[in-house]
Chains A and B, each alone.
Chain A
Amino acid sequence: EAQVTQNPRYLITVTGKKLTVTCSQNMNHEYMSWYRQDPGLGLRQIYYSMNVEVTDKGDVPEGYKVSRKEKRNFPLILESPSPNQTSLYFCASSFKVPGQGVSPLHFGNGTRLTVT
């Protein structure tokens, strides 16, 4: 089944403890992206990747890192999480880069992160 898989679904952690949220897609998609969704602020883009070893900042990259060493995986790394990073995180992928080709974005089911 074609899908975007995020792990874990739920995560509670403490301030400063490094964590990684994994994202994997099995559709050979070129483009991958991370978003956070907060009440009243909507869905905001954190980082995106247009291909292997090509990443760029979205609108809210502070406090996050990403890497794209293989096409299928795009992990989101929080080196020193803080309470303001408590949010619902989504990973998405598409066959073509939005803005360069016509293909829909496929989303994972989300990771709900709580930082205390």
Chain B
Amino acid sequence: KQEVTQIPAALSVPEGENLVLNCSFTDSAIYNLQWFRQDPGKGLTSLLLIQSSQREQTSGRLNASLDKSSGRSTLYIAASQPGDSATYLCAPSSNTNAGKSTFGDGTTLTVKP
């Protein structure tokens, strides 16, 4: 059974800092991995989707990397802003049991002005 761990659980940084969020997973048989953002009381918004054959995916100030063999993904946020404050979750999708996604518990990020 896939297990997903996100470290740290919470992170507080001053505005402008670059930061890295970590996601590790136990089963490397994945098809892709998504990073999501969740604001309090809201649903999840997909930020980046990285395929298992890719090493990196970028969108604006966000960069996601994937090392499938070691079961790790990172989300890099450049020049953080207070509006980036949210919970970030990662979710690898199984390629042996299509339809199943397992989510990490998330990292709650606070960016202070």
User: Which positions in A face B, CB cutoff 8 Å?
Assistant: 4, 31, 33, 35, 40, 42-45, 48, 50, 56, 58-59, 90, 92, 97-100, 102-110
Contacts and interface: CB of A to CB of B under 8 A. Distances in A.
B105 to A, nearest CB: 4
Interface of B: 31-32, 34, 36, 41-46, 49, 51, 89, 91, 93-106
Nearest to B95: A99
Contacts of A4: 43
Instruction: Provide the main secondary structure of the chain A interface.
Output: strand
B49 A45 contact: no
A10 to B, nearest CB: 11
A107 B104 contact: no
Contact of B32 (A58, A92, A102, A106): A102
12 contacts: A31-B99, A42-B104, A43-B44, A90-B43, A97-B99, A98-B32, A98-B100, A104-B46, A105-B101, A109-B42, A109-B43, A110-B41
